[in-house]
Amino acid sequence: MTVALLGVPYDASSSWQRGAALAPVAIREALWSEGGNTWAETGIDLKDGRLEDEGDLWFNDGEPGVEARGRIEDAVGSIVGSGRRPLLLGGDHSITYPALRGVRPHYKKLAILHLDAHPDLYDEFQGDRYSHACPFARIMEENLADRLVQIGIRTMSAHQREQADRFGVEVVDMRSWVDGGTVRFDMPVYLSVDLDVLEPGLAPGVSHREPGGLGVRQVLGVIQSLEAPLAGADLVELNPLNDPSGLSAGVCAKLLKEIAARMLTEPS
Ligand SMILES: [Mn+2]
């Protein structure tokens, strides 16, 4: 098994602050920093040659979103087609919809495990159906997932509640979170991690800080206890402009290591 890291420096679909496009550089810098090592907790060394870096996609400022999305879909599709597992570094959360379009044709059944403070289920947001507030509405409309399980949610609006009911989304909101609880899947899983699922004091470098979130340890527990094959993953919404200390980039690097290690421990 090989993991292909893909930087997606795209934040043109952000509804509030830009800056997430700077994240891939910041996360790689934290990942390879000599201040830490490259071993995951589960005993995998990311320097053992099975983590390949595809570099960053390139976006023209002001180009139509449909072109940007097409490029993301094609890049992810070709990674999966080559037998590798894509691990995307966003970018804002809008990249998850084209990523799923790239992954989905390769799987008969596919579930999404989505960790986020926000359900991102708006039909449209500020007039944009491809906003970072909307990807999971597009995904469910196009049947790109057989199940969508959301963890960490704490900003559900009435409209998004309706959307969740309409699409059959399984929402584990923060109010009902129980430590050590696991979600079981009988099909491959695509993991989408919005950094703002965490308590913002632990990872303040996000555009939408929402108190009351998970701890780093709890998110690691969700990743490490996942039993189903991991078809792909993304780590989105780090905003380095809100992360002068680099603390949040370091948290991303930690999550990246454990996600990659989780993929690499599967039989190929
Ligand atoms: Mn979010």
pLDDT for 181: 78
For residue 59, the enclosing domain spans 3-264
- The alpha carbon of 28 and the centre of ligand 1 are apart by a number of angstroms equal to 21
The DSSP call for residue 196 is: G
From ligand 1's centre to the CA of 208, what distance in Å?
7
Neighbours of 33 (CB within 10 A): 14
- Indicate the number of domains in the chain: 1
Does this model's pTM top 0.85? My answer is yes
Say which CATH number the domain at 120 has: 3.40.800.10
**Residue that has been written with the tokens 């991303």 in this structure:** 252
- Can you read off the two tokens belonging to residue 28? 């790689």
Cα 254–chain centre separation: 14
Confidence of residue 142 (pLDDT cuts 50, 70, 90): very high
* 153 CA to centre of ligand 1 in angstroms: 9
Other beta carbons within 10 Å of 228: 16
Positive or negative torsion for Cα 263, 8, 149, 258? positive
Instruction: Identify the CA nearest to 153 among candidates 123, 125, 124, 120.
Output: 120
Residue 240: phi and psi, rounded to 5, are: -60, -20
In angstroms, what CA-CA distances link 64 with 68, 71, 250? 7, 11, 32
The model's pLDDT over 83-96, given as tens digits with 9 standing for 90+, comes to 999 999 999 999 99
| Pairing between β-strand 230-236 and β-strand 111-115 as defined by DSSP bridges | unpaired
C-alpha 196 – ligand 1 centre gap (Å): 5
Q: Cα(22) to centroid of ligand 1, in Å?
A: 17
Q: Can you list the positions of beta strands (E) in the chain?
A: 3-8, 51-56, 85-90, 111-115, 147-153, 170-173, 189-194, 230-236
Cα–ligand 1 centroid distance for 56 (angstroms): 22
Q: What percent of the chain has pLDDT over 90?
A: 96
What per-residue confidence (pLDDT) applies to 187? 97
| Token representation of residue 77 | 């599709």
Residue 268's pLDDT band, with cuts at 50, 70 and 90, is low
- Residue 266: predicted pLDDT: 83
Assigned token pair, 162: 């309706």
What are the tokens at 220? 């690691």
What is the distance in A from the centroid of ligand 1 to the CA of 94? 11
First-residue to last-residue Cα distance in the chain: 5
Identify the residue with better confidence: 267 or 20: 20
pLDDT of residue 267: 67
* pLDDT averaged over every residue in the chain: 96
Residue with token string 């991102």 = 120
Q: Give tens-digit pLDDT for 30-83.
A: 999 999 999 999 999 999 999 999 999 999 988 999 999 999 999 999 999 999
